[in-house]
């Protein structure tokens, strides 16, 4: 075990090491870096971290993170509110936004149905999604959940509950990643990518 | 570039990403983790980080980190104040302490002489070291600086300045690491380990 000869340093290291992916040694390196940093820089860091809890809230419509009641995406009149992309997590919103391929809005579930982890339908923002599509004004619901058993379960649950009220329900394509070699793809992915094969000219359409 | 749709989140990510070894993506993952954490946990984290700047100081004797004027090692009457181990950094103190092989005290230089990085003798706690040995009461000075050109330069500079006042000046052994294969060691290390060969029975003495 790492013995540290300062109670204050040890306390800081223990708290930093609680962050995901950061072990004791990395936490010590970061803490020693902070000790050597300027006081103003450390104060700025901690102020901005505290603001994450005080000033950042959830968009009341899509549950994306937001500084205001409505997030920048929901509040943007150029985005199409009739196309909703359902994702698991805020990080997925950021990932999809960075593709520049989507001009609709989002719905962040906050997870997927997983009895193993004790996540049932009441822990997710499923009811809020059903309320959003209740109006009958949603043209397309894109299910962009992870390609896991839990993701598929959640997909089917949503599909069952909204199929009467939404014109089109789609799910993002599963297949061989761009730049990926076929020989290294697993059989299930390769099999699905054959079943879901596309007409050549459509596949290369932008 | 990672676009983030919340100014507060972006600010926090930018500050976290200034920490060594943490990129934008990791910073985002940490910030989103903090958003989901309990407010008390985040407050505790930031309080303890701030304490690193307000409540941790330097031991006025050896420049190790300390919560008080004298660090736990210097203040411990069981440690031998006549054996001083000179190290570059606080992390080296922790590393040596964890070997449980050293019962003397330390002197933390704060770096090594490196004209390339603009670190001269005045940026290091060399004068403070010379003052400590000035009394003539130091039996052994162990130089435990890195095995680099800069480390060697610093070693020679210290040696030249203290050789009249200290009985024994030693430097930690350079050689093949325990558990290391000879064929993978570099030539300089292997060569030095031959030159500095030890009598068999001494090498295995505890």
Per-residue pLDDT 10s for chain A (206 aa) are 566 778 899 999 999 999 999 999 899 999 999 998 999 999 999 999 999 999 888 899 999 988 888 998 999 999 999 999 999 988 899 888 888 888 999 999 999 999 998 999 999 999 999 999 998 889 999 999 988 899 999 999 999 999 888 989 998 888 888 778 878 888 888 888 788 777 777 766 65
CA distances from B91 to A4, A69, B18, B94 (A): 9, 46, 20, 5
Q: What is the number of CB-based contacts under 8 A between chain A and chain B?
A: 164
For residues B86 and B82, what is the distance between their CA atoms, to the nearest angstrom?
13
User: In this predicted structure, what is the pLDDT of residue A196?
Assistant: 78
Helices (H), B79-186: 90-97, 126-134, 149-162
Q: Which long-range contacts (CB under 8 A, 24 or more apart) does A78-84 make?
A: A78/A103, A79/A103, A79/A104, A79/A105, A80/A104, A80/A105, A81/A105, A82/A137, A82/A138, A82/A139, A82/A140, A83/A138, A83/A139, A83/A140, A83/A142, A84/A129, A84/A132, A84/A133, A84/A138, A84/A140, A84/A141, A84/A142
Q: What local confidence, expressed as pLDDT, does residue A27 receive?
A: 94
Say if residues A166 and A142 touch (Cβ distance below 8 Å). no
Q: Tell me if B42 and A49 make a contact (CB, 8 A cut-off).
A: yes
Closest in B19, B47, B67 to A6, CB measured = B67
pLDDT at B101: 85
CA dist list (Å): A58 to A65, A112, B100, B107, B141: 5, 18, 51, 51, 60
The answer to whether the complex's ipTM is over 0.95 is: no
pLDDT on residue B1: 52
CB contact under 8 A, B6 and A49: no
Partner-chain contact A15 B49, CB within 8 Å: yes
Whole-model pTM: value is 0.75
Q: Which residues contact B109 (CB under 8 A, 6 or more apart)?
A: B63, B86, B87, B88, B124, B125, B126, B129, B145, B154
Residues of chain B under the 50 pLDDT cut: none
pLDDT in the model for residue B91: 86
């Amino acid at each position: 075990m790492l013995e540290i000869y300062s109670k204050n340093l040890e306390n800081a290291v223990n708290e930093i090491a609680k962050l995901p992916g950061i072990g004791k040694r990395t936490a010590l390196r970061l803490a020693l870096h902070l000790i050597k940093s300027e006081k103003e820089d450390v104060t700025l860091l901690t102020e901005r971290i505290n603001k994450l809890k005080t000033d950042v809230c959830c968009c009341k419509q899509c549950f994306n993170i937001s500084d205001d009641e409505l997030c920048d995406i929901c509040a943007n009149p150029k985005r199409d509110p009739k196309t909703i992309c359902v994702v698991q997590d805020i990080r997925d919103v950021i990932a999809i936004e960075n593709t520049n391929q989507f001009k609709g809005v989002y719905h962040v579930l906050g997870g997927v149905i997983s009895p193993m982890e004790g996540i049932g339908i009441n822990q997710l923002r499923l009811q809020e999604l059903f309320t959003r599509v209740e109006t009958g004004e949603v043209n397309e619901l894109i299910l962009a959940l992870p390609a896991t058993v839990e993701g598929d379960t959640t997909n089917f649950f949503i599909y069952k509950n909204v199929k009467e009220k939404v014109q089109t329900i789609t799910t993002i394509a599963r297949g061989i990643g761009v730049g990926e070699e076929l020989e290294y793809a697993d059989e299930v992915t390769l099999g699905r990518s054959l079943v879901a094969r596309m007409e050549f000219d459509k596949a290369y359409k932008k």
